[in-house]
Structure 1
Amino acid sequence: MNLLLAIVIAFVHTLLLSQDVLARSGAVHQVLLRAALINAVLFFFNLLPVPPLDGGHVAQSFMPYRYRDQYNQIARFAPFALLALLCVPELRVVFTWPAQHVVVYLYEGFGRVFGVA
């Protein structure tokens, strides 16, 4: 859902820029850019194979049954791993780096469609 929301925001934002409805220096422009980026970050964050997140459920569904008990025991410590990912800037790059590239790709693609440089 977050990826879809990032796509919709980038589409609408680029459309508004192409019609000169928004100024590139305005507050709404900055809010829309950040909203697209935040949704892309949340998309990649949710993909992490940590149990409370969607990626954890996907990882568990592909896991052989004989390892699920061990996985569930380790899952108790998952909130601490998530906290470390959020608090340590060097670890945040795991989900911010791909999110930035996705947002740039979206804006470049929609920019070509609408003729916005």
Structure 2
Amino acid sequence: MEFLDRILRVPLDQLPFYLLTLVIAFTLHEFSHAYFANKFGDPTAKLLGRVTLNPAVHFDLLGIILLLIAGFGWARPVPVNRDNFRKPRVMGVIVSAAGPLSNLLLAVVGAAIYAALILYGVVNPFGPQDKLSLALDTFFNLFVVMNFFLFLFNLIPLPPLDGYRILEDIVPRRVLGKLQQFEQWSLLIFLIILIVPGMQQYTIEPLYKAANFLASHFLVFFHTILGG
């Protein structure tokens, strides 16, 4: 247990809530890609059984382990063949954006529920709590922050993230060819972020700070709205 505490990014007692958050966040993220790709005429994901809310088909073990240890990771990518779209570039942007937007939706809905729980005294983040209240407080805090983080992280314009796929579909074709020349370096960039000491304070940490900022402001917003 002590060894796990040292290597995990989150405290061991929060691990179940963290994993539950990832199950929901990754599943809806990948389902959203698959759903819209199928809607727009590409059956690739559907034929592979990816248009589903079954978490088992979307999870990548290495991606989950890295997220727990390093603070960033991934699920199994949904294969998309843009040639099947009637308007490949426009529909490609929508399909790519659907994943991060699903995390944004989860974060906003989670913030609304969390604010309601605080407002009606079910949880009390600033005072003593029983086991159920503490569990709800811990889960919704993680759920909101992590989904805001995944929303922001996936919009980074580096392959294979969704932000890069969106960029591919909106830049002029002459620029696209130059972009694709750098795809081979994407893994190296991620390894640098992961391995080089001190790099995360300039890469991953600012995203977590931004996620916490969004979470706190949405909580205040919903507390104000619900409190009348």
Mark the runs of 5 or more structure 1 residues left unpaired by the alignment.
Answer: none
Q: Which of 187, 204, 210 is the matching residue for 1:98? A: 210
4+ long deviations beyond 6 Å: none
The correspondence for 2:173, drawn from 40, 65, 71, is 65
**Which residue is 2:224 aligned to?**
112
Distance 1:71 1:94, change over 3 A: farther
Shift of 1:73: 1.9
Aligned to 2:111: 10
The answer to which of 37-46 and 95-104 deviates more is 95-104
Give, as a single letter, the amino acid of the residue that structure 2 aligns with 1:97: K
| Larger deviation, residues 52-61 vs 84-93 | 84-93
Q: Which runs of 5+ in 2 are unaligned?
A: 1-101
Bigger radius of gyration: 2
Select the residue among 27, 31, 34 that pairs with 2:142: 34
Q: Please name the residue that 1:89 is paired with.
A: 200
- Match of 1:80, SS state, is helix
- Partner AA of 2:218 in structure 1: L
Larger fraction in helix: 1
Q: Deviations over 1:6-48 (max 9, x none)?
A: 0111111111222222243413202210110000000000110
For 1:77, the aligned partner's letter is W
TM-score normalised over the length of structure 1:
0.85
**Equivalent pairs: percent with the same residue?**
26
- What residue in structure 1 maps to residue 182 of structure 2? 74
Q: Secondary structure at the match of 2:181?
A: helix
Answer 1 or 2: higher relative contact order, Cα 8 Å, separation at least 6: 1
Q: State the Cα deviation string for residues 41-66 of structure 1 (Å, max 9, x = none).
A: 00000110012111101111122212
Which of the residues 133, 154, 158 maps onto 1:50? 158
- Mapped to 1, the partners of 2:162 and 2:107 lie a distance apart of 18
2 CA distance for matches of 1:15 and 1:35? 15
Aligned-partner SS, 2:122? coil
When the two chains are superposed, the root-mean-square deviation of aligned CA atoms in Å is 1.8
Q: TM-score, normalised by structure 2?
A: 0.46
